[in-house]
Every structure is written in C-alpha cells, then in structure tokens.
Structure 1
Amino acid sequence: MTGAEGLRAHVVVQREHFVVDVSLQVPAGATVAVMGPSGAGKSTLLQAIAGLQPLDAGEIAVEGRVVDRVEKPRLRTEPMRREVVLLGQKPRLFPHLSARENVAFGPRAAGTDARAARAGADDWLARVGLPGSGERMPHELSGGEQQRVAVARALAASPRVVLLDEPLVALDPETAGDIRRMLRDQLVSTTTVAVTHDAADAVALADRLIVVESGRVTQSGLVRDVLAAPASGFVASIAGVNRLVGVASGGTWRSGDVRLTSADPASRALAATDGAALAAVFRPGDVRVAEAGQESWPAVVTRIEPTLGGVRVHTDAGAVDLSLDAAGGVAVGDGIRLRIDPALVRFVSVL
C-alpha cells in the first residue's frame, strides 16, 4: 500500500425505505472489505461506484480524478470513464467466446493488438491457476474455473479499481478457499472494494473493514480490530462472539443480575465510569457451565444450535459451546448458570 489516493467515494442513493449514505476512502493498492446485513445497501454502493447506479448526491474520484459528482438539488457533472470493473456472484462469461478470448476482450476493446491481447490472456489464465485452458469454452469449465476466468478477465483490463460483490458465495468451501487465496495474491497491488458476508473473506483479503447497516456506516477500522470489538449485534454475529449490552458499575460490567469483570486494562478503564454504556464481548467457546459454588450468572436456554463440534446453547444471557455429551440433558427453557475467566472478557463502549 503506497498511501496514494486510489478511490474516494461519497455515495448517496435514495432507496425505497431508507437512504444509502456511505463514504469510503481506499488508498492505492489497498483492499477494503464491506460487510452488512442483506439489504443494507452494500450492492448499491458498488453499483454506484461502477457507474451502474446514478447518484442522488455525492462524489466519486478515482486516483484523484472526479468521475462523478451530484450536488443537491441534483446538479450533476457529466460522468467520466472511471476504469472500474465489477465482479459479482456470477462469472457472466461470454458463452460464445473461449476462455482466452473472454480474457482478451477488455484489452482488445481498449485497442491492444489481438496477438498481444491473446498472449496476455494466456498469461493471466496461468496466473489464476488455469494454464493451458485458453481454448476451453465456458460450458466446459466448472463453476470455480469460470470464476477464475472472470477474475482474469477483470484484471486483464488493467482497471484502476476492482469491485468484488460476493464472488465466492456460490462456490463450495474448498473451491472458495482456493479462489480466495488466488484473489489475495492477484489483488496485492490493486485498489479493491470487496463486499462479503464471510468474515474469512474480510480477514484474508482486506486491510480494513467498514460495516454498513441500513445505508449507514456503523463501524470501521482494521479488520481484526472491528471483529474483536463489535459495535453492533450484526458484527458480533459474523465474528462469532457474544455481545451483551449493559453498564459500568463499580469497575465491573452489569446487566440485571449478570455481573462480569475483565482482566484487560483497557476494559477496566472503561468500566471505571459508573453508568457508562458498555458491551461485554467474549467467545461462546470460552464460556463454561458452572458447578455449585462457582462464581457465575443465571441464564435461560432459548435455542440449541448444532455445530461441527457439538452444540451452541443460546441463552438470554449469552451463548455457550458444549460437546454433545455435555449438552445431552439441556433443553429449551432450562435454567443454567454460566461462568467465564475474566481474562477472556473485553468491554467495549456502546455508542
């Protein structure tokens, strides 16, 4: 990442029930992930940056050059060519063209000699893990292979900005993992905005993460920092952690009958202000079912969810991961007691 300006966007688009109003800035060569619930405005953001969705207000600049601007009341500059490519969930290859000709299409349209464009296409196919496949037609390729060709086609066009709209969502886990690693390698110097529902994509591909909920940015920062200190229930769910909202009380966190302490110095500093709104954050795998006499808090089982390693028992006061044997006698409606080591609890401010 050079620190030079890659993409700067302020996107304002009126949706049926809310306004998408999102600002982001991506340094040249960096990748920013965008996450949020379905219908939050993530795809609208990408379509606006790509020029497929008209702005109601805002501005988009690529490498310092304004390519679109609308000022209220809808005074619009003429949109310019923005050299941005959008890669979505479907590869959308040209069915009548070979893999090589699909990849060569962008360079040829830009005026590159046909022979050079095809040679470049073969190089790109090799770079995305499909050497020697130039003659194959799209219908002869698997879904994962088609997506690799789509990535090669996008990057062969030498875009200033690449937009990824959940390109791995339709792939099986093994194929998605392979293409995720390929994308990480091939996008290392390309300014990229990646919309995803998968925290693994954000961690693997991005430098920073912004969370969009109901058309607004609700949290942003380094990917691992955002996931470690979720500012909303949505972020907690994708990070796979408990997030219980309460208040600071006597150096601890409290919500009703539940009181938690933390060994983390920053968390203890937050808890020093009585009445401050705080969220207690901890992993379900770190929670234990308490035995008689242990310091713990009461909870009522609300849902039991199977997991790969056993079950996740959801309660009205946090979730706990249990083995099948340990969960054998637990049922919805049961009262149980939970405990956790203070070293495994963090407090974060609630805005």
Structure 2
Amino acid sequence: MSGQVDGMQARVVVEREHFAVDVALQVAVGETVAVMGPSGAGKSTLLQALAGFASLDEGEIAVAGRVVDRVAAPRVRTEPMRRGIVLLGQNPRLFPHLSVRENVAFGPRAAGTSAAHARRDADDWLDRVGLPGAGDRRPQELSGGEAQRVAVARALAAAPRVVLLDEPLVALDPETAGGIRRMLRDQLDGTTTVAVTHDAADAVALADRLVVLERGRVTQEGAVREVLAAPASGFVASIAGVNRIEGVSDGGGWRRGDVLLFAADAGSQALAAADGVALAAVFRPGDLRVAGEGAATNSWRAVVARVEPTVEGVRVLTDLGAVDLSLSDAGALRPGDALALQVAPEHVRFVPAS
C-alpha cells in the first residue's frame, strides 16, 4: 500500500453472504472518523476486520506505517493483541474476577509494565474518566454507564495507536450517554479513532469526518456537517432529519412532475446545471408550512401518508416530504387527505442525485 500515513490506512474486503464489504479508509494521526450506515451495511464487519477478529478476503491494513494485515504475498497476519488497535463495543466486557483497578491495569501489565506503575496509571485513568476512587470496586457493583467508563479507561491505558468504537453508547439512557459522549470527546482528543454510530449527535460531537457505508460500499464521505447538510442518499437524509426528494434541474430550479422549486443560494448547483440533470431538493420538515390560498412560489399539493406524534406537535409524512406541524395546524389530518405545502427559497438546497 503506497503513500502510507502515520495513523491508519486500510483497504478492507470481506465477502458476506449477499454482498462484499469493500472499504478504503484512511485516518490521520489524532483524527476521529465516524462510520454510519443502515443495519447490515457492514459497519461492524469493518471494525472486526481492522481489529483482527475477522479475516480479510482481500486488502491490507497498516498502522503507523506498519502493515499488520495483508492478503497478497508476502502474507501478513498480526494477531489482535499486537496490532496497536483496541476495539470498544456495546458490552464493556470487564473481567468479573478483577477489581476495577486491575481491569484498567491489565493491558499495561500484559505489555510488561510493573504492577505498581500500572496500578498508579490505572487510578489516574479512572480519575480522567470520572470515576475517582473506584479502583477497589468490582464490575458487578457498577452501573452500565460506570462500566462503560471503566472500559474506556482500560482501552486507553493500553496506549493503543488506534481506537475502534462500535456503538458503545447505544445501550445507555440519554443522560448517561450524553455524559460519556462528553468524556469520550475529551479523552480521545489526539487519538486516532474510528467510531461506528447510529446517532448523528455522536458523529457531530466526536468526529472530524463522516463515512457513510451502504451495502458494504462507501456512498458518501466528508466533513460531518457537510455530509449531513448535503445528503447523497435517503439514509443520510434520514439521520440528518431532512427531506431529500429527487427530481431534475429545470430553468435554474428543480422540478418533479408539476412541482417546481427554487433555492435562494446563488451557488446552488441547479442554477448552473443544464435542464434535466438529476438533482435532489433538501429542506427540513420544520421549514415547511401549510400554504395559504393562491400560494404559487415553492408550493405544491401533497397527500398525507401518516401522522406521527412528536414532542412539540406532529410530523406529517406525505408523498412529497415530511412537515412538522403544531397540533392546531395539523387539525384532524388523516392518511389520504390532501395538503398544500410551501417552503421558502432560502430554506432549500439542491444537491446531486444519482
């Protein structure tokens, strides 16, 4: 693999029953890359392969310029414990027969650090993750959030070159997850990290870049907020919480059937695109409103598919986008009802559509 970086560079190919996971991934030193995708897209398979728990069918993995896995000759297959990579998942997997302190000290001691030094460092790490004085406790005495904090301390105490996170917050309540998310952001600062998550809040809070994986392939990547603002697929639109409706460029605007929309952004791709180029219109459900009588600009008629309660009112899903309404504005809407919608040009963005 040419042009190696000091962080991690990988081409991972793993054959699965219905498709192959085929991902090229480069993570610079100290960078955090979030990986998101639908269930079954291959996210955990990617992490398992990077960590050495799943075999490559093709490809190569290099950490800090050292090849730790390669299929082509000369074959390289470094065992997981010697890769400089640590995987932290949903289950903390603490050793039940060891104290919290000894759990954290385990990695350094296995690497040859003296017991006294490893235990001092363990206490320091426990303090850093918000558990000062917890060293003598046993794993069974910890809450779920505390156990996950210990798992983070144990992972980082081993001084890995790369940390892999496989949705470590998914089983926690929102308040606990928020606290651990903040702790991870602080403690992983400067650590090369790949974080698989299903939550856009995790990606925004923790990551520098976002890689979207669908059916084993990368479908979009870039700075987190840029990817979420310009979703290239329905999946990305769903995690970003926006509408993404495919159509074509038409006269400097966007058209789908009888619906014609314009965007206020002078740099919008639709303004320079020839007519008929595939584009998607992107806008937030909260930026839509029910159109008044005689409204023409950026308005259309939609058919209600279903109505879902939200904290502040209801979300009305239609055949042409979702709209957030108050209870009073929604009235007695039912599936099959017609609804006139409107969005201001300043709230619309056009992005390429495949």
The TM tier, using the shorter chain, reads over 0.9
Cα distance between partner residues in 2 of 1:242 and 1:75: 49
Tell me which residue corresponds to 1:15.
16
Cα distance between partner residues in 2 of 1:66 and 1:155: 22
Cα distance between partner residues in 2 of 1:75 and 1:115: 41
Cα distance between partner residues in 2 of 1:329 and 1:211: 38
CA displacement at 1:200 relative to structure 2: 0.2
Cα distance between partner residues in 2 of 1:326 and 1:158: 56
- Deviations along 1:271-325, one digit per CA (max 9) or x if unpaired, are 5311110000000000001111112201000111111111110000111000112
SS at match of 2:17: coil
- The 5 Å alignment of 1:162-241 reads 162-241=163-242
Which range moves more in the overlay, 265-274 or 33-42? 265-274
CA displacement at 1:328 relative to structure 2: 2.2
Residues 1:309 and 2:308 aligned together:
no
Tell me which residue corresponds to 2:27.
26
- Deviations along 1:244-285, one digit per CA (max 9) or x if unpaired, are 000001111000121110011221555531111000000000
Q: Is the 8 A contact 1:270 1:348 kept in 2?
A: no
Cα gap change, 1:78/1:166 in structure 2, threshold over 3 Å: closer, same or farther? closer
Cα distance between partner residues in 2 of 1:269 and 1:164: 39
Q: Is the 8 A contact 1:282 1:346 kept in 2?
A: yes
Q: Is the 8 A contact 2:251 2:271 kept in 1?
A: no
Cα distance between partner residues in 1 of 2:336 and 2:267: 36
Cα distance between partner residues in 1 of 2:12 and 2:273: 39
- Deviations along 1:216-270, one digit per CA (max 9) or x if unpaired, are 0000000000000000000000000000000001111000121110011221555
Cα distance between partner residues in 2 of 1:144 and 1:210: 27
- Aligned length, in residue pairs: 347
Tell me which residue corresponds to 1:79.
78
Tell me which residue corresponds to 2:292.
291
Q: Is the 8 A contact 2:167 2:195 kept in 1?
A: yes
Q: Is the 8 A contact 2:268 2:349 kept in 1?
A: yes
SS at match of 2:306: strand
The TM-score, its normalising length taken from structure 1, stands at 0.97
Q: Is the 8 A contact 1:8 1:62 kept in 2?
A: yes
Tell me which residue corresponds to 1:119.
120
SS at match of 1:265: coil
Letter in 2 for 1:255: R
Cα distance between partner residues in 1 of 2:254 and 2:267: 13
Q: Is the 8 A contact 1:250 1:271 kept in 2?
A: no
Q: Is the 8 A contact 2:68 2:78 kept in 1?
A: yes
Cα gap change, 1:100/1:21 in structure 2, threshold over 3 Å: closer, same or farther? same
Letter in 2 for 1:315: T
Q: How much identity, in percent, do the aligned residues show?
A: 73
SS at match of 1:266: coil
Letter in 1 for 2:66: R
Cα gap change, 1:132/1:234 in structure 2, threshold over 3 Å: closer, same or farther? same
Cα distance between partner residues in 2 of 1:50 and 1:4: 18
Q: Is the 8 A contact 1:41 1:215 kept in 2?
A: yes
Residues 1:343 and 2:346 aligned together:
yes
Gapped runs of 5+ residues in structure 1?
none
Cα gap change, 1:270/1:62 in structure 2, threshold over 3 Å: closer, same or farther? farther
- Deviations along 1:98-128, one digit per CA (max 9) or x if unpaired, are 1101000000000100011000000000000
CA displacement at 1:77 relative to structure 2: 2.6
CA displacement at 1:76 relative to structure 2: 3.1
CA displacement at 1:95 relative to structure 2: 0.6
Alignment root-mean-square deviation, CA: 1.3
Gapped runs of 5+ residues in structure 2?
none
Residues 1:249 and 2:264 aligned together:
no
- Deviations along 1:153-207, one digit per CA (max 9) or x if unpaired, are 0000000100000000000000000000000000001000000000000000000
Q: Report runs of 4+ in structure 1 exceeding 4 Å deviation.
A: 268-271
